[in-house]
Amino acid sequence: MRQRRALVTGGSGDIGAAIARELAARGCALLVHAHSAPERAQAVVEAIHAAGGQARAVCFDLADGAATRAALEAELADGAIDILVHNAGIHDDAPLAGMQEAQWRRVIDVSLHGFFHVSQPLLLTMARQRWGRVVALSSVAAVLGNRGQANYAAAKAGLHGAVRCLAREMASRGISANVVAPGVIAGRMSQDLFDEAQLKAMVPAARMGRPDEVAALVAFLCSDAAAYINGQVIGINGGMG
């Protein structure tokens, strides 16, 4: 059986890196994507190599449709990309009343337009082989809302609708598409945001989640065993909602 290839966008971040490592540990050959931090993506690749896995770093701007398509066409020349995990996303928080248009557009460009740019070129190849997995990373903010994150929540909530449509369109071709919506996950972006009392008030589990917990869920959704899970938004948030 051919080794499956997986692309993880935003693979240089804490969650993306954990997902890339987990998929590599399960036998996939990884493409670890980054845009602004290629050196961190390369560090993830080196960690995968050290553990005996296969990986390469790729760098392109998901907000640029032409650049993304060109990068993917070059990769597809070497064979199908069987698994796409769209984890890339950015924050640029402000109350909506004071938010600049550039803040709104950039956040949506990366998470939502980026999903189209990176997924659309891969789908026909997945369909021809009658197997594929698409997982988009969302956020509890898209489900519950969060002050100062209208742009982020809108971008991530848009993924819910896009993925549900994609699941209906492609399920008969052996392709599943699902959303994973994490809550508060430990890492660089969250380490200084909440004290212990705030966490206990927000999260019934009274702790942050770990990137490896998110990665385990994503890797399961990318497996053969999860073939009948399709079009779902699955929270991993310690009971937040």
Catalytic residues: 152
Q: How many CA atoms lie within 13 A of 161 on its CB side?
A: 7
- Cα gap 153→176, rounded to integer Å: 23
With contact defined as beta carbons under 8 Å apart, do 38 and 64 qualify? no
Burial of 26 (0-12, 13-18, 19+ CB in 10 A): middle
Q: How much is the CA Rg of the chain, to the nearest whole Å?
A: 17
**C-alpha dist (Å) from residue 131 to 81, 136, 153, 215, 235:** 10, 17, 30, 21, 25
